[in-house]
Structure 1
Amino acid sequence: MLTRIDHIGIACFDLDRTVDFYRATYGFEVFHTEVNDEQGVREAMLRINGTDDGGSSYIQLLQPVREDSTVAKWLAKNGEGVHHIAFGTADVDADAEAARERGVRVLYDEPRRGSMDSRITFLHPKDCHGVLTELVTAAGSSASSVSSASTDH
């Protein structure tokens, strides 16, 4: 069951400049940064608030580090802006399977490692009214410890 908006992913050309904008304009501070080599992105998670289920909501800023990354290709086509929306769930496997059963294409056969050691998968935007949708199980939840061998986000 989806429990919250985990994050809104925003693609940007210059991560540091974009972080500075969110800090100066909204007062948001960086909670976490990482480079995900498999996804070809450098990212910053800006924490917005906590939620009733113990998780948080974030703005995720994504800067490509390779021209062949999905985010680089998306930026070249669309420019900076909202790239995807992510919903938190206690069990990404179960919710991905439920989406499949409803005819929604799930982009990964098995959830992968996402930001902050979460487990993630994506739903095809053509099946979600044009919105790339991510399902996220935060690290430390019971379902996230089932499988965290692969890396991605």
Structure 2
Amino acid sequence: MICKIDHIGIAVENIDKALNFYSENLQIQCTDVEYIQSQGVKVAFLPTGDSEVELLEAISDESAIKKFIEKKGPGIHHIAFRVDSIENEIGRLKKLGITFINDVPTYGAGGAKIAFLHPKSTGGVLVELCER
């Protein structure tokens, strides 16, 4: 079951520069920065009430974020929905014909179990399921 919006992922070229904008202008403070080597990203967490913004910077040439920025430029990369059971949601959505990029959960930022739905199944939006 979808519980809420967990976070919005924003691809940036430089986290430090982006953090300046968010902290100085929007007064949203970063609470942590984490490196996810398996995904080739550096992630900055900016809590906003019940959800958060995650700034994503590529740290490897193979990173999906690097490829995204090369193709589309910096900007909103994905929206993540918190689920109570990622395995149940994957099973339910697959029965509805939804295609996944990874239909076996992996671990992402903040230790969350994650799975991405393919944008071809979601009207062009990269959707992440996230269980914390």
TM-score, reference length from structure 1: 0.84
Structure 2: which amino acid aligns with 1:12?
Answer: V
Contiguous gaps of at least 5 residues in structure 2: none
Alignment of 1:1-153 (within 5 A): 1-50=1-50, 57-138=51-132
Which runs of structure 1 show a deviation greater than 6 angstroms over 4 or more consecutive aligned residues? none
Identity percentage of aligned residues: 34
Indicate if the aligned counterparts of 2:103 and 2:116 stay in contact, CA closer than 8 A: no
Once the 2 structures are TM-superposed, how far is the Cα of residue 32 of structure 1 from its aligned partner?
2.2
CA distance in 1, matches of 2:41, 2:20: 18
Alpha-carbon RMSD: 0.8
Aligned residues: 132
Once the 2 structures are TM-superposed, how far is the Cα of residue 19 of structure 1 from its aligned partner?
0.9
